[in-house]
Structure 1
Amino acid sequence: MVDLPSQQPPPSDTAGPFSVPNLLTYGRIAAVPAIVAVYYLGSNTGRWLALAIFIAASITDFLDGYFARIWQQQSAIGRMLDPIADKLLVATALLLLVSDNTIGGWSLIAALVILMREISVSGLREFLAEVRVSVPVTRLAKWKTTLQMVALGFLLAGPAGDQVLAGLPQVSPDLGLVSYVGLLLLWISALVTVYTGFDYFRAGLRHILSEGS
């Protein structure tokens, strides 16, 4: 559960704009147009290249935070760009997959839930940052992000991955194994997204109500 937001001063900067954590974040942002470009090659090769870039970008999401902690290299630009890079990566992958119907039918609801939650929580965090209130990121929220990345990785492979595993028993007559697992994980991550999003909004609302009382 998310704790009640606490009034905190902004953390001090300990790194410049070209520190290693920030360079990794810049790289994650640069990966977004690269994924779009190779995805629209329109072949299995394009999907595998998009997946490779997506995986590399997802790994930088862990590494930039890790290096920032162990080397004490926090910065304002890093705190600003890190969540932006994450959301650009997730939103771009979802839009690409919807555009070619890899995500279609009822699964569009799961994609929409994820997008709505990311945008809404970003707005909430921006509002609370203005009044210097910190909403801690929960362990479940971190798992949610990891689950989203894994689901999107399976779906980016999609039909290309299905062909590789075509000899294995299929769990659905309409979907290959890789696509099926990707959509299943997408739904699970959407459900976790709803739970963690509700938690954040409840914590923010408690702060707003406490300020008004």
Structure 2
Amino acid sequence: MKWNLPNILTVLRLLAAPAVAVMFLYFTRPYADWFALVLFVTAAATDWIDGYLARAWKQETKLGAMLDPIADKAMVVIALMVIIAFSSWSAWLVLPATVILFREVFVSGLREYLGDTAGTLKVTRLAKWKTALQMTAIAVLFSQGVFEHYLGMSILGMDEALVQDILQGKEEDVLGLNWKVVAMEWSGRIGHWLLWLAAALTAVTGWDYLMKALPHLKEGR
């Protein structure tokens, strides 16, 4: 195994994947959401950085080629698990997440079965966009948790009628309830839209990979 900066960044990204879930075990919300968001965005940024450095410095290795997709999948799968766990199992999250998780498991199984042949099936540009879109959607959904809990902290102890009066402009909005509601709602909408789009791209790239793998799955080869 050859260790260099790109490989070290990839390993750190792999370790960051379970750390995202651990944030919710040791910190209360919204601090857990903040830590998870910052950790996830930072780790996602290394996905581009380590690849760029490996190509620019001509330090591409078998270790990096193996760990990079594993780190990406671990980040996406664990982050989706955390988001769904705190979303009361909303169908609008569970359905696209199921498509994404099924594709990743299915393609990983195909790659394992194909062995060395899998290396000849190159990663397409669409697959790279798929990963980027998945990570963007997850980051936006984490930000929704931040806004949601800051809103909850702001209205804690308030009478429901007073909250409605503030949102309707009948009372002064000292605590900024209106912008927190807007931020929470729009981050949720955008996050959901991006996740559904990511799920569609995930399904397309999964089908494309299956079609490319079919000739290698025939008996007698």
TM-score by length of 1: 0.82
* Structure 2 residue runs without a partner (length 5+): 152-175
Which of structure 1's runs of 4+ aligned residues deviate more than 4 A? 162-166, 168-171
How far apart, in 2, do the equivalents of 1:195 and 1:141 lie? Answer: 9
Among candidates 5, 17, 22, match of residue 2 of structure 2 = 17
How far apart, in 1, do the equivalents of 2:2 and 2:198 lie? Answer: 33
The offset of 1:32, in angstroms, is: 1.9
Among candidates 139, 143, 157, match of residue 157 of structure 1 = 143
The offset of 1:165, in angstroms, is: 8.7
After superposition, what is the alpha-carbon deviation per residue over 1:83-111, rounded to whole angstroms, capped at 9, x for unaligned?
A: 11111100110100111116622421110
The offset of 1:207, in angstroms, is: 3.3
Q: 2:36–2:142: 8 Å Cα contact kept in structure 1? A: yes
Count of aligned positions: 194
Trace 1:165-184 onto structure 2 (pairs within 5 A): 166-167=178-179, 170=182, 176-184=185-193
Counterpart residue type for residue 152 of structure 1: I
What is the SS of the residue equivalent to 1:18? Answer: coil
How far apart, in 1, do the equivalents of 2:127 and 2:90 lie? Answer: 25
Are 1:29 and 2:14 counterparts?
yes
Change (3 A) 1:155 1:54: same
Change (3 A) 1:44 1:132: closer
Mean Cα deviation higher: 93-102 or 156-165: 156-165
Among candidates 194, 198, 206, match of residue 203 of structure 2 = 194
How far apart, in 1, do the equivalents of 2:196 and 2:76 lie? Answer: 15
The offset of 1:81, in angstroms, is: 1.1
How far apart, in 1, do the equivalents of 2:91 and 2:83 lie? Answer: 12
TM-align CA RMSD: 2.4
After superposition, what is the alpha-carbon deviation per residue over 1:131-188, rounded to whole angstroms, capped at 9, x for unaligned?
A: 46511111111111111000000111223235489428859xxx71111111111111
The structure richer in helix per residue is 2
TM-score by length of 2: 0.79
Identical amino acids, percent of aligned pairs: 40
* Structure 1 residue runs without a partner (length 5+): 1-15
